[in-house]
Structure 1
């Protein structure tokens, strides 16, 4: 396996091996980072995760739970956020 690269999500130490699981009630919106791509995200519907694309030139902003312009959405900040909420194991840097 290649070493850790903050800009390569496949090198992050994802909890559950990067498998996306829906944990909230079926009637609640739930969104997750895509372990492989900044331009995709997972949206849970009836307890099932569905991979969704962002529009052209957009990336998923997990802090706002929307697709957003890439400015101000650095992978380092997103990595720190993912660690904080437990999607990624503590700091690999």
Structure 2
């Protein structure tokens, strides 16, 4: 049953629907990580080592957040692909 020719079109559609849902959710997280420090920059005017706190957040924390998003996306897709290969894709 692991042969790709035995997969149903409905299972493929469910797999890609879950894939798109994960991508949209993580894309929304990406937007939040990108713009939250900039939108809160007035409240984050605290100086830290001669620069505003928002500068340090944008320079240090945001790239780590992006790495975590990429790692999470890879884990989600790996799980979805394994479930699809085993024929266990649920809606």
TM-score calculated relative to the size of structure 1 = 0.25
Q: Which has the larger strand fraction? A: 1
Highest CA radius of gyration, 1 or 2?
2
- Asked which structure has the greater RCO (Cα within 8 Å, sep 6+), the reply is 2
Q: Which has the larger helix fraction? A: 2
